Amino acid sequence: MRRSITNAFAATALAGLSLYLWRLSYIYSDWAILALAPLAVGIWIGFWPLTLSPWRAWLHVALRRESPLERILQGNVRAFLVTAGFTCIAVTLLAWQALDASVVDASIMLVAFFLSAGLFSRGQRYLARHFHEPFARGLATSLVSWSVALPLILVIALTTWTSTPMPHEMLQADFVEAVQIGLSNLPERGGWIAGFLSIPYGYEAIKLWAVVQLRDYPIFSALFSLDVALFSFVLCRSAVILNQFIDTHILKVAE
C-alpha cells in the first residue's frame, strides 16, 4: 500500500511540475518546451514495454520456433510507431489543457492522475494472481484507465458547461470570425509552438461556434463533448504509464 502511494505521488509530482513549469515559461519563450521533456521521456519509457512485451509474448506462443519470421516480427517498429504516437498525443493534449486550466480544472486533473496511478499498482497485483505477465500489466492498465476516465468525463463535462462563459462575440460570429476569436487566446509573441498550438485552439473555437449554432438541438451539441472523453482517457493512461516508469526506472534503481 505504501509503495502504491509513493509511486502515485511521484508520478503526479513529475507530471504536475513539468506542466506547471511549461505554463509559467511558455509566455516568454519557445524554450518552455524543455519543461515538457521529463513528462515526454517518462511516458515514452513507460509505454514502450507496455506495447512491446505483450506482442512478443503472443509471438512466442503463436510462432513456431523454427520459423525465420521471428527475426522479422520482433515488433520494434510497431512499438516505436505506437509509442511515438501516444507520447505526442498525450504530451500535446496535457500541455494544451495546462495552459488555460483554472485552479478547479487543475485540481480535478491532479486528483484523477493520482487515483489512476495509485489504483494501477493495486489492480496489477490482483490481476497477477490470475494472469501471466505481461498480460496482467496490460489488463490493469486498460481497466484502471477506463474506470477512472469514465467518471472523469462526467466531471469535466459538467465543470466545463457550468463554469465556461460563452463569449458574447461568438453568438454573432461567422465561421472565420469564430476561428479568429479562438486564436486570439494564443500569446502575441508568436513562435513555432504558437503555430502548432493554433490547431487545438482553432478546433476549440470551432467546436464552441458549432455548439452555439446547434443550441436548439442538444443531441448534436453533446457530440462535441466527445473530445472530453479522449482527454480523460489520455490523462488517466498517462498517469498509469508514468507510474510504471517511476516504479521500474526510479524507485527500483534507488533501492
Q: What is the pLDDT of residues 14-72, one digit of tens each?
A: 999 999 999 998 888 888 899 999 999 999 999 999 888 888 888 777 777 777 776 77
Total domains in the fold of the chain: 1
Whether the per-residue pLDDT at 228 is higher than 50: the answer is yes
Task: Give pLDDT tens digits for 99-131.
Answer: 878 888 889 899 999 999 988 888 888 888 888
55 C-beta neighbours (distance < 10 Å), count:
17
Predicted local distance difference test score (pLDDT) of residue 16: 94
Q: Which of 114-123, 197-206, 231-240, 242-251 has the lowest mean pLDDT?
A: 197-206
Share of the chain above pLDDT 70, in %: 76
Whether the per-residue pLDDT at 221 is higher than 80: the answer is no
200 C-beta neighbours (distance < 10 Å), count:
17
What crossing angle do the helices spanning 76-100 and 103-127 adopt, rounded to 10°?
150
Which residue has cell 509474448?
57
pTM of the full structure: 0.82
Domain that holds residue 58: 2-254
Distances in whole angstroms, Cα of residue 172 to Cα of each of 118, 134, 153, 208, 224: 46, 55, 30, 12, 20
Average of per-residue pLDDT values in the chain: 80
207 close to 227: Cβ distance less than 8 angstroms? yes
